[in-house]
């Protein structure tokens, strides 16, 4: 199954949800002109890393973001891997990835498992505990958030269940561009799946974000890579390639999980 993917590599207004919703709508509507099957947004696209004010600006139960994405998905007949948003729940604020299908239905929510202490996430966010596995058009897929890709055992816990593509939404800052590229390519090769990674661009008061959103095939070959500026990255993936590659080099069949503990 061939799918056209659009990654919205947007500059996020620090702590300004209203402005960010407006920007996201503009980019989604702009991307629709190219008729993508799936649109992907970056991590914390509604607020950026304005962590100290999340109790005030976070989206309660992610209601506003979910309705926003559902409406645009249904209106345009497109699946949306809606990045992640600051989601205010009774237990605290979580970094929640949202997936809606082209019928405007909420498919899945995933709460970031690994909190990045270098950016103080652990002080303001609550970690999740469940996997980011979901289905679109009867294809099993997975989604994770930024720092998660540094934990190959967490990614493998997903892909061993069969997902054909891994979506990564991120606010990955400079200067670690080489890490970003190497980790994404490695995750694609070792898990024999497509990797669709949407990073933000621009600046906040303490960080520079370099973009370089990427679409990578199961061999680790780069299908498309953005530059540093705000842009929409398009690429086509063929999910049928995954089964062929997994048969050619049967990594999952040859695993010896009993020795990995």
**What are the structural domains, with CATH classification, of the chain?**
2-259 (3.60.110.10)
DSSP letter for each residue of the chain:
-EEEEEEEEPBPPTT-HHHHHHHHHHHHHHHHTT--SEEE--TTTTT-S-GGGHHHHSEETTHHHHHHHHHHHHHHT-EEEEEEEEEEETTEEEEEEEEE-TTS-EEEEEE-SS--GGGTHHHH-B---S--EEEETTEEEEEEEGGGGG-HHHHHHHHTT--SEEEEEE-PBTT-HHHHHHHHHHHHHHHTSEEEEEE-EEE-SS-EEE---EEE-TTS-EEEE--SSSEEEEEEEETHHHHHHHHHS-HHHH--GGG--
**pLDDT recorded at residue 261:** 83
Taking the C-alpha atoms of 29, 87, 155 and 181 in order, what is their torsion angle to the nearest 10 degrees? Answer: 50
User: 73-103: per-residue pLDDT in tens?
Assistant: 999 999 999 999 999 999 999 999 999 999 9
In the structure encoding, which two tokens stand for residue 42, read together? 């970056």
Residue 212 has pLDDT above 90, yes or no: yes
pLDDT digits (tens, 9 = 90+) for 112-165: 999 999 999 999 999 999 999 999 999 999 999 999 999 999 999 999 999 999
Q: What amino acid positions are annotated as catalytic residues?
A: 43, 112, 146
Question: Contact, 101 vs 73, CB < 8 A?
Answer: yes
The percentage of residues in the chain with a pLDDT greater than 70, rounded to a whole number, is: 100
- Is the pTM higher than 0.95? The answer reads yes
pLDDT at 226: 98
Q: What is the pLDDT of residue 75?
A: 97
Strand 79-89, strand 59-60: pairing: parallel
pLDDT digits (tens, 9 = 90+) for 166-208: 999 999 999 999 999 999 999 999 999 999 999 999 999 999 9
């Amino acid at each position: 199954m061939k799918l056209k993917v659009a990654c919205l590599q947007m500059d996020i207004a620090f702590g300004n949800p209203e402005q960010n919703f407006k920007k996201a709508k503009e980019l989604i509507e702009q991307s629709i002109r190219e008729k993508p099957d799936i649109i992907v947004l970056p991590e914390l696209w509604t607020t950026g890393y304005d962590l100290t004010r999340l109790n005030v600006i976070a989206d309660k139960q992610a209601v506003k973001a979910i309705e926003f994405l559902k409406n645009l998905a249904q209106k345009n007949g497109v699946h949306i891997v809606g990045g992640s948003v600051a989601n205010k729940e009774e237990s605290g604020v979580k970094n929640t990835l949202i997936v809606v299908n082209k019928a405007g239905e909420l498919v899945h929510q995933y709460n970031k498992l690994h909190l990045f202490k270098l950016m103080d996430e652990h002080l303001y966010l609550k970690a999740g505990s469940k996997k980011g596995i979901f289905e679109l058009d009867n294809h099993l897929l997975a989604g994770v958030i930024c720092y998660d890709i540094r934990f190959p055992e967490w990614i493998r816990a997903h892909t061993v269940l069969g997902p054909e593509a891994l979506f990564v939404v991120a606010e990955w800052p400079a200067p670690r561009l080489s890490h970003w590229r190497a980790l994404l390519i490695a995750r694609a090769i070792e898990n024999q799946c497509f990797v669709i990674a949407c990073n933000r661009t621009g600046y906040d008061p303490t960080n520079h974000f370099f973009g370089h959103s990427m679409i990578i095939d199961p061999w680790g070959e780069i299908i498309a890579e953005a530059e540093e500026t705000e842009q929409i990255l398009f690429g086509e993936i063929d999910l049928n390639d995954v089964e062929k590659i997994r048969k050619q080099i049967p990594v999952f069949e040859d695993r010896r999980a009993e020795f990995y503990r």
